[in-house]
């Protein structure tokens, strides 16, 4: 296999660095050239940090030479713009908020820096990370490397696009309604929504139990490595959990896995459904016992829970930041705030919590006797880049709300459940994905299942990469 610095996974690069076969500077320079070649078309990167990154890469090179390398030394990480880097401005992609200049690193950034990571780019999000696609008045439209007519999803869309296009080795992400897992499915990458508290955040939004920060990668092993490095208690987040090293080594033979093709009511594209069924077959071939189930929950309860929660939490935060500068907002943000203002008149936080409790208890009962659940990550194959989706999205001849184009948000309501999103195949030009859902805080099981699927299916980017930009990746 030809060595490609733009697509080699982090674990292999670490081994090559230790054996002095290639240097972090060489890999960084190759990826910076890749950014030059493709990002004009994709719009994934909102800030380049070439100079800082070269300094960091040279320091990593020295540590390998001196024999004191750190766990992630020399590995490039593209940082989602909302994750603060000291000395850099956080704006959340908004013209309506002046933002802040960070004086300290976000806990995820702090831990990756301590591990020797090289920060070379910051990635695009939708305004205030509130949509399942990535575009804003501030940064324009971000496009999918697999098919630029589509979005890479949101809100970690820039991160997913950067990974799929070979512009970085790892990327940071966050997830409050599917913002890690949606881009993972749409870009063929691996995304992890850790159980609430596993990965520390920064306040006050870290206290919103729907959300969490995490890893985007091209392989299960890389996602696991990064997750272990950023997990554990942190002084800035009193909701963060004690350290736990996640282990993907559990034998999946005999595991009982529940299978839901539609989470009791989502309309799912038939190609996604077929790819999900193929992943079920792979689990069976790996020795798992897989059984279809009906979960028993109501999408009306889900709508009550999420509308009430977002109205009282996320939209209230955006209102506070924006104030009277609403004329500068992107169109979808304006519509979102108007809708949530009305919702607040009719739904209290207790209404949301009551519906959340019902959904959580129903899922727990449905998963009783099973080790995990498998289901699609998205219902739609993709969202057209630049479309605000006010009219929803068409799936299998039906027009549904854009919020129902992904099957992710139920597991933000059930946010103590770990969810690993892995590729499941392709639907035409676009990748598709599945979610592996575990019982509360059982990270080990979902990573073991993800590892087993990857071993059977192979790593997507070893056999196929997007053809984007003036330079195509070497044949693999």
The H or E element containing residue 395 is: strand 393-395
What DSSP character marks residue 473? P
If phi over 0 gives left and psi between -120 and 50 gives alpha, with beta otherwise, what is residue 428?
left
* Residue in 66, 54, 102 with CA at minimum distance from that of residue 81: 102
**What tokens does 457 get?**
């299916």
Count of beta carbons in the 10 Å neighbourhood of residue 326: 13
Q: How far is the C-alpha of 369 from the C-alpha of 372, rounded, in Å?
A: 9
Task: Give me the catalytic one of 80, 82, 138, 193.
Answer: 80
Contact 76, 229 (CB under 8 A): no
Q: How far is the C-alpha of 415 from the C-alpha of 407, rounded, in Å?
A: 14
* Residue in 211, 131, 189, 222 with CA at minimum distance from that of residue 433: 189
Tokens 């009511």 belong to residue: 265
> Which residues contact residue 170 at a Cβ distance below 8 angstroms, ignoring those fewer than 6 apart?
10, 75, 76, 77, 78, 117, 163, 215, 216, 217, 222, 226
> Which residues contact residue 62 at a Cβ distance below 8 angstroms, ignoring those fewer than 6 apart?
none
- Asked if 94 is an active-site residue, the reply is no
Strands 170-175 and 76-80: parallel
Q: What angle do CA 99, 101, 106 make, to 5 degrees?
A: 100
Task: Give me the catalytic one of 60, 136, 151, 155.
Answer: 155
Task: Give me the catalytic one of 179, 202, 330, 424.
Answer: 179
- Rg of the Cα trace of the chain? 21
DSSP string, 418-432: -EEEEEEEEETTEEE
CA–chain centroid gap for 205, Å, is: 17
- Asked if 179 is an active-site residue, the reply is yes
* Residue in 52, 62, 44 with CA at minimum distance from that of residue 28: 52
Q: How far is the C-alpha of 361 from the C-alpha of 383, rounded, in Å?
A: 32
Q: How far is the C-alpha of 422 from the C-alpha of 454, rounded, in Å?
A: 8
Contact 304, 352 (CB under 8 A): yes
> Residue 77's beta-bridge partner residues?
119, 170
- Asked if 155 is an active-site residue, the reply is yes
**What tokens does 429 get?**
């030009």
Q: How far is the C-alpha of 98 from the C-alpha of 318, rounded, in Å?
A: 13
Q: How far is the C-alpha of 99 from the C-alpha of 258, rounded, in Å?
A: 44
**What tokens does 389 get?**
């989706």
Q: How far is the C-alpha of 55 from the C-alpha of 400, rounded, in Å?
A: 49
Q: Which residues are catalytic?
A: 80, 155, 179
């Amino acid at each position: 296999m030809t060595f490609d610095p733009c697509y080699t996974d982090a674990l292999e690069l670490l081994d090559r660095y230790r054996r002095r076969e290639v240097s972090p500077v060489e890999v960084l320079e190759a990826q910076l050239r890749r950014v030059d070649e493709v990002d004009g078309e994709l719009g994934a990167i909102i800030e380049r940090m070439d100079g800082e990154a070269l300094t960091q890469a040279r320091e990593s090179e020295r540590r390998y030479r001196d024999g004191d390398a750190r766990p992630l030394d020399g590995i490039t990480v593209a940082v989602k713009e909302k994750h603060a880097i000291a000395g850099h401005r956080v704006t959340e992609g908004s013209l309506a908020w002046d933002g802040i200049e960070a004086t300290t690193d976000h806990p995820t950034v702090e831990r990756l820096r301590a591990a020797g990571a090289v920060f070379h780019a910051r990635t695009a999000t939708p305004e205030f990370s509130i949509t399942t696609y990535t575009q804003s008045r501030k940064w324009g439209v971000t496009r999918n490397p697999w098919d630029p007519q589509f979005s890479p999803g949101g809100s970690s869309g820039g991160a997913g696009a950067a990974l799929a296009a070979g512009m970085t080795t790892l990327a940071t992400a966050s997830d409050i309604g599917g913002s890690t897992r949606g881009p993972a499915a749409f870009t063929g990458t691996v995304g992890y929504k850790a159980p609430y508290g596993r990965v520390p955040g920064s306040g006050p939004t870290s206290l919103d139990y729907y959300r969490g920060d995490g890893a985007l990668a091209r392989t299960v092993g890389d996602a696991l490595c990064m997750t272990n490095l950023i997990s554990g208690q942190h002084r800035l987040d009193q909701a963060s959990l004690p350290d736990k090293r996640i282990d993907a080594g559990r034998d999946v033979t005999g595991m009982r896995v529940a299978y839901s093709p539609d989470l009791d009511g989502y309309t799912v594209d038939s190609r996604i459904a077929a790819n999900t069924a193929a992943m079920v077959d792979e689990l069976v071939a790996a020795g798992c016992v897989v059984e279809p189930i009906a979960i028993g929950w109501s999408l009306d309860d889900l709508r009550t829970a999420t509308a009430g929660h977002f109205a009282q939490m996320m939209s209230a935060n955006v209102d506070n930041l924006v104030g009277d500068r609403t004329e500068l907002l992107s169109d979808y943000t304006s519509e979102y705030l108007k809708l949530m203002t009305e919702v607040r008149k009719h739904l209290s936080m207790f209404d949301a919590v009551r519906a959340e409790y019902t959904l959580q208890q129903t899922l727990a009962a449905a998963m009783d006797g099973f080790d995990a659940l498998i289901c699609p990550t998205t219902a739609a194959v993709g969202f057209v880049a630049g479309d605000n989706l006010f009219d929803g999205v068409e799936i299998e001849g039906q027009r549904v709300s854009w919020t129902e184009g992904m099957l992710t948000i139920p597991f933000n309501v059930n946010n103590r459940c770990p969810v690993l999103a892995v590729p499941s195949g392709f639907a035409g030009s676009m990748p598709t994905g599945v979610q592996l859902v575990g019982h509360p805080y059982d990270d080990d099981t979902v990573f073991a299942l993800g590892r087993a699927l990857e071993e059977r299916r192979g790593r997507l980017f070893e056999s196929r990469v997007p053809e984007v930009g003036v330079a195509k990746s070497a044949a693999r």
